[in-house]
Structure 1
């Protein structure tokens, strides 16, 4: 596992690697946490690619359907951290 806590910085790096774009998104502004991915310019396919990269890097499994319904970066970060926490408890 790469880290115990998944952060906005981690998500930013992975989203930009997986889906590119984001030139108009200020990922350093915490307001982005509660902005819907669609408003940020990322559709469900970009989120699925992002989810795949998160799964590979962090050794967790995210449900594709739930991932495509993830409305905001905050929701995705919380979901990833919940999976990381559960994985840590089983080790």
Structure 2
């Protein structure tokens, strides 16, 4: 069995589709450990992002898990922790 993984590219695509990008923020740079607020994504943009992830990947992201997910690396880990392995 192989696992479907949620990647940084997936996250960047969803962020751009849902909220766009702040001027001056380069999502192609080293952003894994940058806080979302620093990247220009406030709480409403993140709520939209979470909803898009849940719908696209068929998972439920709990508030308690998202509380500490303030960087792309942390959010990717939360999402990947929810994904179920799929048959190859």
On whether the aligned pair clears a TM of 0.5, the verdict is yes
More strand by share: 2
RMSD of Structure 2 on Structure 1 (CA): 1.9
Cα shift readout 1:25-69 (whole Å, capped 9, x = no counterpart):
22222x200000000011111111000000000000002454365
- Specify which structure has the bigger relative contact order, considering alpha-carbon pairs within 8 angstroms and separated by 6 or more residues: 2
More helix by share: 1
Decide whether aligned partners of structure 1 residues 68 and 44 sit closer, same or farther in structure 2, where only a CA change above 3 A counts: farther
TM-score by length of 1: 0.80
Where in structure 2 are there 5+ consecutive unaligned residues?
none
Please name the residue that 2:70 is paired with.
71
Q: Is the 8 A contact 1:48 1:68 kept in 2?
A: no
Please name the residue that 2:59 is paired with.
60
Please name the residue that 1:88 is paired with.
85
